[in-house]
């Protein structure tokens, strides 16, 4: 389908305006195609806000295979009786973030992890080598593979001291003719600090050590140089969200892990915070591009208007204050979930009283230790048959 003619912003107007224009144009073309085909729109998790990702029951799959869901996804691991209440009166459900129990939280965590990798690759330091390690064992208990992974990373680190890794865990679909319906784990390890020309050598080292400790065959392992780091990150972002690639029920391990020095110029916590901010801004752009007027008609604003509205909404969201409330919107007592020592009501123990209690506990422990030493000394004197020494009455009084 040809793109509709529109007033596209120039590249020099800013990458944000161009990105918003491309996103809005793609959405408009996709909407026209779905309307022509009679299909139902399926929202992408990368751009859609939380709670608004849905698909029709029994409807066709989305743009990417197996990324749709028959029902609207929502968090099922958060507390049912608690909500977050904003100072603007908005009441939202608390998300539990239990990625191994809740499919919705697992999807959002996967998107955040991949956003971390994409942002790091866009900064000019993408990984150079990809190593995929698999096994013939079908299990959800990952403890049997930890030693093999640790030894592989250690061997590569010895050969290439500057090597840093990021790993994504996936499971096979079980659809293969020789799989027997069993799903097996495999690890996608992306390495920095290893030259692309040494990809084959790194693959040989990893396969030899991996197969020595895990039920696997060397010819089934894969290693290659990464030609387009940004493209690989985006592929993994979509591939990682497939339902058939998610861990089976009962899985309790980690799906993403990386070394401390993988992210260039920042820690893992900082990289995760930047990814969360980037996703929040993308969701605001998504909302601004779909804004409607009072009559329900879509506002066809320019890319500049969409970007400006998204930035203003993003700043408002950052400045918004949230408090804990019940499901009916009644604000909870902030002392309800605090220990007594941290409460600021009448039940709080004064600091000076806590210091006195702590000092009394220390003095009592000193007295008990002195009593134990005294008993030990008396027992040693009795066993040696030594007469009571002069001045003992004063010493042990």
pLDDT digit string (tens) for the chain, length 397 residues: 333 333 444 444 455 554 555 455 555 545 544 444 443 333 333 333 333 333 333 443 333 344 455 455 788 888 888 888 888 888 888 888 888 888 888 888 888 988 999 899 888 888 999 999 999 999 999 989 999 999 999 999 999 999 999 999 989 888 888 888 889 999 999 999 999 999 999 999 999 999 999 999 999 999 999 988 777 777 776 666 677 778 888 888 888 999 999 998 899 999 999 999 999 999 988 888 887 665 566 666 788 888 888 888 888 888 888 888 888 888 876 655 555 555 555 555 566 666 777 788 888 888 878 877 777 776 666 555 544 444 544 444 4
Instruction: Say what the pLDDT of residue 197 is.
Output: 93
Contact yes or no for 149/187 (Cβ under 8 A): yes
The three-state (H, E, C) secondary structure of 341-373, written as one string: HHCCCCCCCCHHHHHHHHHHHHHHHHHHHHHHH
Instruction: Say what the pLDDT of residue 273 is.
Output: 92
Instruction: Say what the pLDDT of residue 203 is.
Output: 95
Contact yes or no for 345/335 (Cβ under 8 A): yes
Q: Which domain holds residue 305?
A: 13-100+270-326
Instruction: Say what the pLDDT of residue 16 is.
Output: 55
Among 240, 265, 290, identify where a domain stops: 265
Contact yes or no for 118/230 (Cβ under 8 A): yes
Instruction: Say what the pLDDT of residue 383 is.
Output: 56
Domain-embedded: residue 377: yes
Instruction: Say what the pLDDT of residue 42 is.
Output: 34
Domain-embedded: residue 205: yes
> Do 84 and 31 fall within a single domain?
yes
What is the pTM assigned to this prediction? 0.64
> Do 190 and 247 fall within a single domain?
yes
Domain-embedded: residue 4: no
Counted domains in the chain: 3
> Do 251 and 279 fall within a single domain?
no
Domain-embedded: residue 107: no
Give ∠ CA 64-314-257 in degrees, rounded to 5. Answer: 50
> Do 295 and 230 fall within a single domain?
no
Contact yes or no for 3/24 (Cβ under 8 A): no
Domain-embedded: residue 336: no
Instruction: Say what the pLDDT of residue 367 is.
Output: 82
> Do 137 and 220 fall within a single domain?
yes
> Do 139 and 254 fall within a single domain?
yes
Domain with residue 241: its CATH number is: 3.30.70
> Do 185 and 237 fall within a single domain?
yes
Among 288, 310, 326, identify where a domain stops: 326
> Do 169 and 62 fall within a single domain?
no
102-126 core/surface letters (b: 16 or more CB in 10 A; e: else)? bbbbbbbbbbebbbbbbbbbeeeeb
> Do 261 and 281 fall within a single domain?
no
Spatial distance between the Cα atoms of 91 and 273, rounded to a whole number of angstroms: 24
> Do 275 and 248 fall within a single domain?
no
Contact yes or no for 325/84 (Cβ under 8 A): yes
Domain-embedded: residue 8: no
Query: What residues does 86 pair with on adjacent strands?
Result: 322
Instruction: Say what the pLDDT of residue 192 is.
Output: 94
For the chain, state the CA radius of gyration.
30
> Do 130 and 253 fall within a single domain?
yes
Q: CA separation (Å) from 365 to 118, 356, 368?
A: 56, 14, 5
The three-state (H, E, C) secondary structure of 115-146, written as one string: HHHHHHHHCCCCCCEEEEEECCCCCCCHHHHH
């Amino acid at each position: 389908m040809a793109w509709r003619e529109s007033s596209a912003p120039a590249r020099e107007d800013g990458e944000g305006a161009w990105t918003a224009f491309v996103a809005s144009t793609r959405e408009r073309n996709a909407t026209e195609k779905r309307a022509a085909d009679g299909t139902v729109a399926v929202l992408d998790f990368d751009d859609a806000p939380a709670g608004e990702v849905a698909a029709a029951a029994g409807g066709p799959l989305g743009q990417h295979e197996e990324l749709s869901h028959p029902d609207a996804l929502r968090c099922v691991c958060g507390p049912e009786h608690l909500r977050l209440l904003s100072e603007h009166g908005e009441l939202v459900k608390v998300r539990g973030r239990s990625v191994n129990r809740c499919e919705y939280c697992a999807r959002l965590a996967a998107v955040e992890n991949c956003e971390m990798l994409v942002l790091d690759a866009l900064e000019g330091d993408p990984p150079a080598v990809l190593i995929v390690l698999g096994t013939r064992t079908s299990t959800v208990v990952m403890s049997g593979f930890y030693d093999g992974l640790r030894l592989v990373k250690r061997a590569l680190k010895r050969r290439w001291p500057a090597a840093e890794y990021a790993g994504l865990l996936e499971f096979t679909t079980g659809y293969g003719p020789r799989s027997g319906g069993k799903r097996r784990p495999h690890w996608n390890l992306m390495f920095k600090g290893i030259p692309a020309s040494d990809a084959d050598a790194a693959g040989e080292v990893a396969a030899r050590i991996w197969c020595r400790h895990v039920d696997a065959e060397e010819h089934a392992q894969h290693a290659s140089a990464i030609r387009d780091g940004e493209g690989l990150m985006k592929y993994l972002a979509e591939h990682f969200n497939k339902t058939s690639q998610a861990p089976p029920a009962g899985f309790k391990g980690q799906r993403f892990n990386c070394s401390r020095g993988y992210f260039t110029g920042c820690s893992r916590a900082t990289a995760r915070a930047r990814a969360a901010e980037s996703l929040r801004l993308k969701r605001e752009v998504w909302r601004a591009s779909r804004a409607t007027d009072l009559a329900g008609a879509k506002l066809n604003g320019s890319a500049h208007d969409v970007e400006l509205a998204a930035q203003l909404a993003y700043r408002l969201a950052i400045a918004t204050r949230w408090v804990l409330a019940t499901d009916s919107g009644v604000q909870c007592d902030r002392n309800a979930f605090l220990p007594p020592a941290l409460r600021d009501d009448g039940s709080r123990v004064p600091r000076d009283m806590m210091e006195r209690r702590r000092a009394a506990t220390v003095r009592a422990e000193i007295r008990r230790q002195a009593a134990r030493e005294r008993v030990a000394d008396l027992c040693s004197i009795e066993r040696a048959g030594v007469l009571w020494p002069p001045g003992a009455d004063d010493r042990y009084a």
